[in-house]
C-alpha cells in the first residue's frame, strides 16, 4: 500500500508563511490524487480545508491555499494566526484506496 509522507512538525511565527507538503511513495503527487487537507485541534473532529488539490470550502480562511509543488501536494499558510496551531493531515486518492498522511503538527510561535 502507498505511504503518504508529511513533515512531523513545523513552526511558524505569527504573521509568517509556512508550507506543509504531502508526498507519495508511488511517485509524484498529481492532480489525479485529488489531495485533501484537514485541520484538527485537540479533542475536535477534523475540519476539511482543501479538496481536489486547490479547492476551498466556504469556511476555509483565505490565508490557506493548496497547490502542487515539486512533485508533492502543498498547503501554504500565509499570515499565520495563533488559532492555526493544530495538526494538519493530507489525504490522497489511489486506485480503489485512499490514504492519509501521518500528519504535521504546526506550532505558531
Partner 1 sequence: EVRLVESGGDLVQPGGSLRLSCVGSGFTFSTFAMTWVRQAPGKGLEWLSYISESFSPIFYADSVKGRFTVSRDNAKNSLYLQMNSLRAEDTAVYYCARGFGTSWFYLWGQGTLVTVSS
Residue numbers of the site for partner 1 (CB under 8 A)? Answer: 1, 34, 36, 38, 40, 45-48, 51-52, 55, 57, 89, 91, 96-103
Phi, psi of 33 (to 5 degrees): -85, -5
- Please state the closest distance from residue 80 (CB atom) to partner 1, in A: 22
Judged by beta carbon, residue 51 or residue 68, the one nearer partner 1 is 51
> Least separation, in Å, of the C-beta of 14 and partner 1?
26
Residue whose C-alpha cell is 484537514: 38
According to DSSP, residue 85 is labeled -
Amino acid at each position: 500500500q502507498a505511504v503518504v509522507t508529511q513533515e512531523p512538525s513545523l513552526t511558524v511565527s505569527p504573521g509568517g508563511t509556512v508550507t506543509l507538503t504531502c508526498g507519495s511513495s508511488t511517485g509524484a503527487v498529481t492532480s489525479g490524487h485529488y489531495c485533501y487537507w484537514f485541520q484538527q485541534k485537540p479533542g475536535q473532529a477534523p475540519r476539511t480545508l482543501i479538496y481536489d488539490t486547490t479547492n476551498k470550502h466556504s469556511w476555509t480562511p483565505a490565508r490557506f491555499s493548496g497547490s502542487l509543488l515539486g512533485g508533492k501536494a502543498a498547503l501554504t499558510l500565509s499570515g499565520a494566526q495563533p488559532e492555526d496551531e493544530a495538526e494538519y493531515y493530507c489525504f490522497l486518492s489511489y486506485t480503489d484506496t485512499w490514504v492519509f498522511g501521518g500528519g504535521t503538527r504546526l506550532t505558531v510561535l
